[in-house]
Amino acid sequence: MADVVNEQEQPTNIGAGDFPHNHNQRHGIVLPPVQNNNFKIKSGLIAMVQGNKFHGLPMEDPLDHLDEFERLCGLTKINGVSEDGFKLRLFPFSLGDKAHLWEKTLPKNSITTWDDCKKAFLAKFFSNSRTARLRNEISGITLKQNESFYEAWERFKGYQTKCPHHGFSQASLLNTLYRGVLPKIRMLLDTASNGNFLKKDVEEGWELVENFAQSGGNYNEDYDRSICTSSDTNDKHHREMKALNDKLDKIIQMQQKHVHFITEDEPFQVKEGENNQCGEIRYVHNQGGYNKGYNNYRPNPNLSYRSTNVANPQDQVYPQQQQQQNQPKPLVPYNQSLGFVPKQQFQGGYQQQQPLPGFTPHQQQAHAPQNSDIMTVLQ
C-alpha cells in the first residue's frame, strides 16, 4: 500500500531528520547543453557582471539592468555555445539580495530560454505601480518651471523609454504633448504646420517636433526659459531687494562714527569748561595702567561708575577719593609669569558722580534728528 512506509527509509535515530541528506540545484533555469567541451567563461567577464548587480530595490530599473547585461554578454562569442545558453549561465551572477533569492525560488525547470527568463524577471520586478506612474507622467506631460521645450521633449521621450509598454500610439503622444505645452509654443507649432499642428501627418508631426526641440536646444536654449517663468515679477523683486539693501547701507553709514586716536605728539585742544586731564580706559584688574610703556596714567577723579545692582542705590555709601587730582599714580611692577599685578589699595567700589562741565551723558543725548533721518531714508 501507498500509505505504508518502508521501515528501511525511516531514520535510524530521532534527530536524523533535522538536516537534509542530499543537495539539489535550487533554481528553475534549465541550462541548454553545449557542444564545445572547452567552454569556459572568463573571470574578467564574470567580475564585470558582478559589478553591475541588480538587488531588487524600488529605485532600480530592471530594464536598465537587462540592457547592461546584454551589452556585456555581447562582448564575447564562443563557438559551439548558443546565445541563450551563454546568457542563462551568466545571468545568476548579476543578481543579488532579493533578486538572487527570487532566482532560487523559481519553479523547477520553468525557464528554458532567455526570453522566458526576461519575462519572469520583468514580471517580478517591474511592478504595476511603476507602470501606472510612468503612464501618468506621459499622459500629463507639462513644462516645469524654468524648463525649455527641448528639456521637456527629452523628458517626455525618457518616460516612453522607461515604460515601453505604455500603450499610447504616436498620434496620441503628439496630441498629449501639443496640449501640455505653453500657448506660445503651440502657436509656433501651428505656424510651422500651416495653421494647425493637429492636422499634420503623424510622421511629419514627429519630425517637426524633433527639429523644433533640437533647434531650441542648440541655438536658443534660454528662449523658452523666459516664456516658462514670469520675468517681470522676478525683475521687480530684484529691484525692490536692491533698493532695500541701499537704504540699509545708508542707515548703517549714518550710524557709524569716526574714532580719532590722539598720539603723544599731537596737541589736544581743551574746550571751555572741560578739565585738562583726559580719561583713559584702563584694564579693570590692573587699576594701575597698562604697565608695558604706558605708566603715565592720570585718571579723572570726577569720572566713576555707580553700581545699580542694589535695593536702594541712593543710600549706597562709597569710599572717599584717596588721591588728589594732580597726584601721580605709583608704578605697578609687571610680572612676566603672573601677568598684571592689581593695585593693593583698590577698594573694589565703583562710584558715579556728577559729569564734567560741558559733558552730556550718553543717555541724555537726543536721538530725534537721527531717527528722523532714518525715517526719511526708509521713505
CA dist list (Å): 22 to 5, 104, 106, 379? 20, 17, 20, 92
Instruction: Write down the pLDDT at residue 49.
Output: 94
CB atoms within 10 A of CB 200: 20
Count of alpha carbons within 13 angstroms of residue 137, beta-carbon side: 20
Residue 334 pairs in a beta bridge with 340
Q: Which residue has the higher pLDDT, 192 or 16?
A: 192
Please answer whether residues 82 and 183 qualify as being in contact, where contact means their C-beta atoms are separated by less than 8 angstroms.
no
Please answer whether residues 350 and 310 qualify as being in contact, where contact means their C-beta atoms are separated by less than 8 angstroms.
no
Categorize the per-residue pLDDT at 10 as very low, low, confident or very high, splitting at 50, 70 and 90: low
pLDDT tens, residue by residue, 58-104? 999 999 999 999 999 999 888 888 999 999 999 999 999 999 999 99
Instruction: Write down the pLDDT at residue 284.
Output: 43
CA dist list (Å): 205 to 45, 134, 177? 44, 23, 11
pLDDT tens, residue by residue, 165-178? 999 999 999 999 99
Q: 334-335 and 339-340: which strand pairing?
A: antiparallel
Q: Alpha-carbon distance 27 to 103, whole Å? A: 6
CB atoms within 10 A of CB 336: 5
Please answer whether residues 160 and 138 qualify as being in contact, where contact means their C-beta atoms are separated by less than 8 angstroms.
yes
CA dist list (Å): 293 to 176, 278, 284, 290, 332? 86, 18, 17, 7, 12
Q: Alpha-carbon distance 81 to 368, whole Å? A: 97
For residue 218, pLDDT beyond 50: yes
**DSSP letter assigned to residue 14:** G
Q: Alpha-carbon distance 195 to 204, whole Å? A: 15
Amino acid residing at 94: S
Residue 308 cell numbers, joined: 545699580
pLDDT tens, residue by residue, 46-57? 999 999 999 999
CB atoms within 10 A of CB 204: 10
Burial pattern 35-62, b for ≥16 Cβ within 10 A else e, equals eeeeeeeeeeeeeebeeebbebeeeeeb
pLDDT tens, residue by residue, 163-217? 999 999 999 999 999 999 988 999 999 998 888 999 999 999 999 999 999 887 5
Q: Which residue has the higher pLDDT, 9 or 221?
A: 9
Q: Shortest CA distance to 145 belongs to which of 238, 225, 236, 233?
A: 225
CB atoms within 10 A of CB 324: 8
% of the chain residues with pLDDT over 70: 58
% of the chain residues with pLDDT over 90: 36
Most confident of 14-23, 339-348, 357-366: 14-23
